[in-house]
Amino acid sequence: MHLSHDPDAPEGEPIAFEDFLKVDIRIGTIVAAEDFPEARKPSYRLRINFGAVIGEKKSCAQIAANYNPDELIGRQVAAVVNFPPRQIGPAMSEVLTLGFADDAGEVVLFAPDHPVPNGVRLF
């Protein structure tokens, strides 16, 4: 499966609502962000707090083109929390932080426009 960043790409194949419900997308607050120089594209290692039940998780995110580490601390982001952990070079990424491509193809984070409780699920 290839995901396109092209805004003119056709929509994906239809899925059942039950399949959508299997993807657990939650809001968390970034509590730490540091450079990840070993990554192929400019990236950061993030620690994200998803609240008392899920806790703090690590993510590797290719967001260095649009953000610096200091401005990420305290920012809420959306992430898939139920994918298996994935080894990214020397780091383990436990969640997939979500974003959209800007005009240059760089990631812009997906986040609520008002604060919500950490750990709340997308519906």
Mean pLDDT of 72-101: 96
Domain around 60: 22-109
Q: What is the DSSP letter of 120?
A: P
Which letter, b or e, does each residue of 47-82 get, where b requires 16 or more Cβ atoms within 10 Å of its Cβ? Answer: bbbbeeebeebbbbbbbbeebebeebeeebbbbebe
Question: In angstroms, rounded to a whole number, what is the distance separating the alpha carbons of residues 111 and 97?
Answer: 10
Q: Say yes or no to pLDDT of 5 above 90.
A: no
| Domain assignment of residue 44, yes or no | yes
The CATH number given to whatever domain includes residue 78 is: 2.40.50.140
Q: What is the DSSP letter of 6?
A: -
pTM: 0.91
Q: Supply the pLDDT for residue 2.
A: 47
pLDDT averaged over every residue in the chain: 94
| Domain assignment of residue 16, yes or no | no
Task: Tell me the torsion sign for CA atoms 34, 89, 121, 77.
Answer: positive
pLDDT tens-digit series, residues 6-24: 788 888 899 999 999 999 9
Number of domains in the chain: 1
